């Protein structure tokens, strides 16, 4: 691992592009991880001890990204108001972003339903071992949190204690911080009209903090290839290949749905008059990290920087789209996955999965339930629990898929992040604020610069 890290460091010194270094790390990690697994076995002591050291680079990198998420969300939203980026249309912009996020999640649910039906997936055929049994028991204990009413869910979004939310203590902390920052921004606009001198001082303080936070983000992002190498090596070395083989049909059906939904993102971008190939080329490094880290929240700094530096999305819109995308409208975790599971267990509950009324109700429930699903590991499980319990369907199926959950979650997270960036692009296009010169320019690999 140290040798491979040295290779990546050498490439960085030679100014090899950010994308090439990320892809090199991805390729080396996959091969290295599989070699380790076939040499020692996924559960061997050698692998366990080695992975614990790999985590210093992999998990350590994710923790550094998580460290900067809340400060980045808070100061970015606040700076959008102090810089008057979109103070007159904040309601419209926020509304458009939410519409795009929830709308694409509804489409994702329909695709998940179609994939389950096309592959004839049935929950009754899944095997329940000791690990699955333990997971089911754990899921049952979480069911109480998933059964909140809609008013309760709305109240959970509000920042009762913003200092607590800045620590990320609650699943809805990110959206609470967004709301808190927006309230401060609105207050700033009021003070600016009545006391311009104080407002000017506050604006300078926010600008200074913004510059510092973004510099921290840049320093952390330089570590991306090393983090990707360690994370994907761990996946290759520790994945349960036998379980993946047994549940291969579900894995294939899931990735077919994820790919189709990604093509929908490209179609929406094309309809807006932009080049989908440009989009793919510029967001690949971000999606690669999302794939390996399995954390939409951890990918937020890369997400925002790619939108602004590579795609031409204004800072304010990118901050809102990135932040909202962490907590709602996740196409993979809160759209495709719950819909597929609902179709699989419907027959066991005596429901015809082909019933138009059932399918329509399921799509609506999935879209609404996508509010408040955290963009961290386990978010898809929580989303599935909410949907299945709301539809009065068996929730045990969530535990039966534990062995392939990490593999599928990688693709889901990448799709979540793509949905977030797509919503930022579409909102910028609708409001005519997209910098098309940046979007159409050749990528300068500024994400990790």
How many CB atoms within 10 Å of residue 61? 26
CB-count exposure of residue 8 (10 Å: 0-12, 13-18, 19+): buried
Cβ proximity of 399 and 281 under 8 Å = no
Cβ proximity of 431 and 99 under 8 Å = no
User: What is the enclosing helix (H) or strand (E) of 287?
Assistant: helix 276-293
Cβ proximity of 339 and 359 under 8 Å = no
> What pLDDT is stored for residue 132 in this prediction?
47
- Distance from C-alpha of 434 to C-alpha of 425, rounded to nearest angstrom: 7
Q: How many angstroms separate the first and last alpha carbons of the chain?
A: 24
The residue among 180, 141, 188 whose CA lies nearest residue 157 is 180
Give the rounded distance of the alpha carbon of 445 from its chain centre. 21
Q: Where are the alpha helices (DSSP H) in 222-275?
A: 224-238, 241-246, 248-271
> What pLDDT is stored for residue 275 in this prediction?
95
Query: Domain 2-9+18-440 has what CATH class?
Result: mainly alpha
Task: List the pLDDT tens digit at each of the 449 positions of the chain.
Answer: 999 999 999 999 999 988 889 889 989 999 999 999 999 988 899 999 999 999 999 999 888 988 888 898 898 888 878 876 555 577 788 899 999 999 999 999 999 999 999 998 887 555 555 454 555 555 555 555 556 666 777 787 788 899 998 887 777 787 788 889 989 998 998 999 899 999 999 999 999 998 999 889 888 888 989 998 999 999 889 887 877 777 889 999 999 999 999 999 999 999 999 999 999 999 998 999 899 888 888 888 889 999 999 999 998 899 889 888 887 889 999 999 999 999 998 998 889 999 999 999 999 999 988 876 655 556 687 788 888 888 888 887 776 777 778 889 889 999 999 999 999 999 999 999 999 999 999 765 555 55
Structure tokens at 242: 């036998």
pLDDT in tens, 371-421: 766 555 566 877 888 888 888 888 877 767 777 788 898 899 999 999 999
Sequence-distant (6+) residues with CB within 8 A of 421 are 283, 286, 303, 306, 307, 311, 321, 322, 325
Cβ proximity of 47 and 237 under 8 Å = yes
Sequence-distant (6+) residues with CB within 8 A of 153 are 371, 372
CB-count exposure of residue 262 (10 Å: 0-12, 13-18, 19+): buried
Q: What is the pTM of this model?
A: 0.83
- Distance from C-alpha of 215 to C-alpha of 145, rounded to nearest angstrom: 38
Question: For residue 330, what is the DSSP state?
Answer: -
> What pLDDT is stored for residue 169 in this prediction?
79
């Amino acid at each position: 691992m140290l040798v491979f890290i040295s290779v990546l460091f050498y490439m960085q010194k030679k100014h090899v592009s950010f994308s090439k270094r990320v892809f090199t790390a991805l390729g080396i990690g996959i091969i290295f991880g599989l070699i380790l697994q076939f040499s020692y076995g996924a559960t061997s002591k050698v692998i366990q001890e080695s992975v614990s050291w790999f985590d210093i680079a992999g998990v350590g990198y994710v923790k550094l990204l998580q460290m900067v998420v809340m400060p980045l969300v808070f100061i970015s939203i606040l700076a959008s108001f102090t810089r008057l980026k979109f103070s007159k249309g904040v309601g419209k912009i926020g509304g458009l972003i939410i519409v795009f996020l929830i709308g694409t999640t509804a489409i994702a649910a329909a695709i998940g339903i179609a994939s389950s039906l096309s592959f004839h997936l049935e929950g009754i055929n899944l095997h329940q071992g000791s690990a699955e049994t333990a997971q089911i028991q754990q899921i049952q204990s979480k069911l109480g949190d998933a059964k909140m009413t809609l008013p309760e869910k709305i109240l959970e979004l509000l920042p009762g204690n913003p200092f607590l939310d800045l620590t990320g203590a609650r699943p809805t902390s990110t959206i609470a911080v967004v709301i808190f920052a927006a309230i401060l921004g609105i207050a700033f606009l009021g003070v600016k009209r009545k006391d311009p001198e104080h407002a000017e001082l506050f604006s300078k303080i926010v600008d200074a903090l913004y510059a510092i936070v973004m510099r921290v983000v840049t320093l952390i992002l330089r570590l991306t290839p090393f983090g990707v190498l360690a994370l994907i090596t761990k996946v290759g070395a520790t994945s349960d290949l036998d379980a993946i083989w047994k549940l291969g049909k579900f894995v294939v059906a899931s990735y077919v749905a994820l790919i189709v939904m990604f093509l929908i993102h490209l179609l929406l971008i094309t309809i807006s008059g932009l080049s989908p190939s440009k989009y793919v080329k510029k967001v690949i490094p971000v999606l690669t990290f999302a794939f390996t880290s399995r954390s939409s929240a951890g990918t937020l700094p890369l997400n925002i920087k790619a939108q602004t530096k590579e795609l031409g999305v204004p800072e304010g819109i990118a901050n809102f789209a990135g932040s909202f995308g962490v907590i709602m409208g996740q196409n993979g975790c809160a759209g495709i996955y719950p819909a597929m599971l609902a179709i699989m267990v419907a027959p066991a509950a005596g429901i015809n999965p082909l019933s138009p009324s059932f399918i329509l109700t399921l799509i609506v429930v999935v879209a609404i339930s996508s509010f408040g699903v955290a963009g961290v590991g386990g978010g898809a499980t929580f989303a599935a629990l909410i949907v299945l319990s709301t539809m009065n369907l068996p929730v045990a199926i969530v535990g039966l898929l534990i062995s392939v959950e990490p593999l599928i979650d990688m693709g889901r997270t990448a799709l979540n992040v793509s949905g977030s960036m797509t919503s930022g692009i579409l909102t910028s296009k609708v409001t005519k604020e997209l910098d098309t010169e940046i979007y159409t320019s050749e990528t300068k690999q500024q994400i990790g610069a």
